[in-house]
Structure 1
Amino acid sequence: MAAPDSSRAEGPVLLFPSSSSASARVEAVVVFNICDSYVRRPDQAERVIGTLLGSVLPDGTVHVRNTYVVPHSESADQVALDIEYHHNMYASHQKVNPKEVIVGWFSTGFGVSGGSTLIHEFYSREVQNPIHLTVDTGFTTGDASIKAYISSNLSLGDRHLAALFQEIPLDLRMLEAGKVGFDILKSTIVDKLPNDLDGMESSMEKLYTLVDEIYKYVDDVVEGRVAPDNKIGRFIGDSVASVPKFSPAAFDKLFNDKIQDNLALVYLSSITRTQISIAEKLNTAAQIL
């Protein structure tokens, strides 16, 4: 077992709204990985912490694309991290994707705790200006359950007074499939997981809502009720121009072909599961004989 890094908690933690221009962009897979790690945590662990991987964009935005858990233990006045495990995991990730570097760390739970200062100090030695991502796995406040922070020291002369954590803007980057999974993740009770048709129905309903909002905006601009916005106009024009020009018959054929492809995949996967089940039973019978 690797020797952990242990530190004693000192000084309070202060939270302030951010006056910094820093921001973070987080992929949906990062949130899913963190929630999965929390479900698989040891019984005695109250929270899960780990490393955030990604890159810093030219505009200064921290783009978080991956993560891994770092074993730790903590008490009221002490925090211990398995540094060797952290370094081994980072080296393994670098072999797979060298462009993903350490950009910060995460913890489950709502807000910043006193022990977070010690962990943030460690990651400050690993990378300059790391971010701290917190995920309330209960999603008690919806999207606001996920927050990002940067930290700086508040000192008076040579005396360290407190760690100053400032919340920064957070952008959750999700494709439609990720949004469906994220909505399920936020729900406290789910009767069943949606299938492909349920997901398509939900996507179409959202698309109809967006189209209605665009129609209303365009009508308001034409009637003079709303001042025109050139950026919105260009965005609408680009969106319309990107839609392929299909006749109704061609669109119906394309849609039906896609449905048939999906049904064929479902049928093949069902046959594969049946064959595996039969092979297992035959293998068991052969061992008995």
Structure 2
Amino acid sequence: MSLGPSSSAIHVQGTSTTDSAHNLPRTPTKITIHPVALFSILDHYLRRGESQDRVIGTLLGTRFENEVDVRSSFAVLHSETTEQVAVDMDYHRTMYELHHKVNPKEVIVGWYSTGSNLNTYSALIQNFYSQETAPNQAIHVAVNTGVEEGQEAGVRAFISSPVGVFPKPENCVFVPVPVELRFHDGERSGLDLLTSAAGSSTSTASQPIADVEILERSILTVSEMLDRVLSYVHEVLVGKKKGDPAIGRYLMDTLGASTDDLEKGGFNASLQDTLMISYLANLVRSQAEVSSRLALTTSS
């Protein structure tokens, strides 16, 4: 699809507003992105052609009133020059049909691009995706990979609004919308593994961690969280820090009947027992490895 020459797109910094008309869909005021969608965007960027400055793709997810939940994405073939931009619509629709068969609850919610440049071509692509998401507004997620000099890595989300008495597809206002990364408990171990690899002094990827080590790290993390909670509660009780009612309600809902056990140290003692079991398991495993190596040395 040829989208014509460039003219002038407008990018303004402002706050999004909800639509007051009852017969129109609500304007998104919050965008949440899951790690699967974000990693798919980054993988697409790493696999781009040498001549491509940025890549684009389709965002899939669900809508809840004025919130959009982006759960997955797929790449869309496109070419971009100084004179025109072309998007393979047939590929886009074929990929969506295949994805919809696997995840029928996920619909097209917008599109993504890499880089921080919002230009006329962005407005034209936004207009195309607005037709795909009608009557709902299409969102645009811009992922800055941080490879450009002076640019920090980050994720921003936008919605668009037409400009002028007689709006044209290539002219629109991109309005920022709050965006956050959300992940499920089951995805946390994978994110922790990637974080540890990124913080490593070597570029070698981390090896898979044994189940016992994962359990040990999780227990240590929980123990540290409990220590911070107990320290905060103690400072509030002695008057060193002003208590926050919201934090108090959250702690009561989270801990519930376990509060007495925490004060008595019962829960902390059970954590220590679990850590001891983990330590003994590691010791037994090490002893078994040493014994097997000695046996091989003796036989040879």
TM over 0.5: yes
> Does the 8 Å contact 1:15/1:166 carry over to 2?
yes
Q: CA deviation at 1:218?
A: 1.4
- Larger strand proportion of the pair: 1
Q: State the match for 1:276 in structure 2.
A: none
Distance in structure 2 (CA, Å) of the matches to 1:136 and 1:187: 20
Give every structure 1 segment of 4 or more consecutive aligned residues whose post-TM-superposition deviation is greater than 6 Å: 184-189, 197-202, 256-260
Q: CA deviation at 1:24?
A: 0.5
Q: 1:91 to 1:159 in 2, by over 3 A?
A: closer
Task: Tell me which of 125, 142, 160 is aligned to 1:134.
Answer: 142
Distance in structure 2 (CA, Å) of the matches to 1:90 and 1:242: 47
Distance in structure 2 (CA, Å) of the matches to 1:179 and 1:215: 27
Secondary structure at 1:219's aligned position in 2? helix
Q: Does 1:19 align with 2:16?
A: yes
Q: Does 1:179 align with 2:191?
A: yes
> Does the 8 Å contact 2:115/2:144 carry over to 1?
yes
Q: Which moved more, 1:187-196 or 1:86-95?
A: 187-196
Q: CA deviation at 1:45?
A: 1.5
Q: TM-score, normalised to structure 1's length?
A: 0.74
Letter in 1 for 2:125: I
Identity percentage of aligned residues: 31
Distance in structure 2 (CA, Å) of the matches to 1:20 and 1:212: 41
Q: CA deviation at 1:177?
A: 2.5
Q: TM-score, normalised to structure 2's length?
A: 0.72
Q: State the match for 2:264 in structure 1.
A: none
Letter in 1 for 2:204: K
Q: CA deviation at 1:34?
A: 0.8
Q: 1:123 to 1:54 in 2, by over 3 A?
A: same
Task: Tell me which of 65, 71, 76 is aligned to 1:65.
Answer: 71
Task: Tell me which of 238, 243, 259 is aligned to 1:228.
Answer: 243
Q: State the match for 1:87 in structure 2.
A: 93
How do 1:1-289 residues align onto structure 2 when only pairs under 5 Å count? 4-20=1-17, 22-58=29-65, 60-127=66-133, 128-138=136-146, 140-142=151-153, 145-155=154-164, 157-158=165-166, 162-174=171-183, 175-180=187-192, 183=195, 190-195=202-207, 196=209, 207=222, 210-241=225-256, 247=270, 251-252=274-275, 255=278
Q: CA deviation at 1:15?
A: 2.4
Distance in structure 1 (CA, Å) of the matches to 2:33 and 2:17: 18
> Does the 8 Å contact 2:34/2:70 carry over to 1?
yes
Letter in 1 for 2:54: R
Q: CA deviation at 1:86?
A: 0.3
Q: 1:177 to 1:7 in 2, by over 3 A?
A: farther
What count of residue pairs does the alignment treat as equivalent?
Answer: 255
Gaps of 5+ in 1: 268-289
Q: CA deviation at 1:80?
A: 0.5
Gaps of 5+ in 2: 19-28, 262-266, 290-300
Q: 1:76 to 1:57 in 2, by over 3 A?
A: same
Deviations 1:13-54 (A, max 9, x none): 222132336110100111111111111112222211000000
Q: Which moved more, 1:239-248 or 1:225-234?
A: 239-248
Q: State the match for 1:280 in structure 2.
A: none
Across the aligned residues of Structure 1 and Structure 2, the Cα RMSD in angstroms comes to 3.5
> Does the 8 Å contact 2:216/2:278 carry over to 1?
no
Q: CA deviation at 1:116?
A: 0.8
Secondary structure at 1:89's aligned position in 2? helix
> Does the 8 Å contact 2:2/2:84 carry over to 1?
no
> Does the 8 Å contact 2:120/2:171 carry over to 1?
no
Q: 1:173 to 1:185 in 2, by over 3 A?
A: farther
